[in-house]
Amino acid sequence: MVSRPAAGGGRWVEVDPARLGRWLDTFAARHGGYAVDPVPGGLRVRAYDGELAELRTPPGAPDRPDLAGFLAEAGQPRRLALLLVRRGGTAVGVALGERLLVSKVHTGYVQGRTAAGGWSQHRFARRRDNQARAAAGDAADLAVRLLLPDIEQLAAVLGGGDRRSVEAVLADARLAPVRQRLDERFLDVPDPRLAVLQDAVRAARRVHIRLTAPAN
The pLDDT, as a whole number, for residue 124 is 52
Higher pLDDT, 17 or 33: 17
CA distance 116 to 93: 38
Q: Please write the tens of the pLDDT for every residue from 138-149.
A: 899 999 999 999
- Global confidence as pTM: 0.86
Stretch(es) of the chain classified as CATH 3.30.420.60: 79-204
Q: Please write the tens of the pLDDT for every residue from 23-71.
A: 999 999 999 889 999 999 999 999 999 999 999 999 999 999 999 999 9
Name the nearest CA neighbour of 59 among 131, 132, 160: 160
The pLDDT, as a whole number, for residue 49 is 92
Spell 119-149 as b/e; 16+ CB within 10 A means b. eeeeebeeeeeebbeebbeebbebbeebbee
CA distance 160 to 90: 10
Q: Please write the tens of the pLDDT for every residue from 72-112.
A: 999 999 999 999 998 768 999 999 999 999 999 988 644 45
Q: Please write the tens of the pLDDT for every residue from 64-81.
A: 999 999 999 999 999 999
The mean per-residue pLDDT over the stretch 3-23 comes to 92
The pLDDT, as a whole number, for residue 138 is 87
The pLDDT, as a whole number, for residue 107 is 81
We find that the CATH architecture of domain 79-204 is 2-Layer Sandwich (3.30)
- List Cα–Cα distances, 112 to 109, 122, 135, 156, in angstroms: 9, 13, 14, 32
Range in 66-75, 123-132, 179-188, 195-204 the model is least confident about: 123-132
The pLDDT, as a whole number, for residue 7 is 85
Other CB atoms within a 10 A radius of the CB of residue 54 amount to 19
